[in-house]
Amino acid sequence: MSPPVVAERRTRTDRLLACGLVAGPLFVVVFMLESAFKGAGYSALRHPVSSLELGGGGWVQVANFLVAGVLTMAFALGVWRSGHRAGAVLIGVWGVGLLGAGVFTTDPVSGFPLGTPAASDYTTSGAMHDGFSLPAFLALFVAQLVLSRGNGRRWLVYSLLSATAYLVCFFLASAGFNQTAGLVAVGGLFQRLAVVVGWGFTIALAVRLRRT
Tens digit of each residue's pLDDT (9 = 90 or more) over 37-78? 998 899 999 999 999 999 999 999 999 999 999 999 999 999
Query: For the residues 181-192, what does the mean pLDDT come to?
Result: 97
The C-alpha angle with vertex 89 and arms to 84 and 92, in degrees rounded to 5, equals: 120
- What pLDDT, on a 0 to 100 scale, did the predictor assign at position 152? 87
DSSP state of 121: P
Query: For the residues 203-208, what does the mean pLDDT come to?
Result: 97
- What pLDDT, on a 0 to 100 scale, did the predictor assign at position 5? 60
- Spatial neighbors of 169 by CB under 8 A, at least 6 apart, are 190, 191, 193, 194, 197
pLDDT one-digit tens code per residue, 120-167: 889 999 999 999 999 999 999 999 999 998 778 999 999 999 999 999
DSSP E strand boundaries for 43-89? none
Query: For the residues 167-196, what does the mean pLDDT come to?
Result: 97
- What pLDDT, on a 0 to 100 scale, did the predictor assign at position 2? 60
Report the alpha-carbon distance of residue 209 to residue 205 in Å, rounded: 6
Q: Which helix (H) or strand (E) holds 187?
A: helix 187-211
pLDDT band at 7 (very low <50, low <70, confident <90, very high): low
pLDDT one-digit tens code per residue, 72-99: 999 999 999 999 999 999 999 999 999 9
- What pLDDT, on a 0 to 100 scale, did the predictor assign at position 10? 77
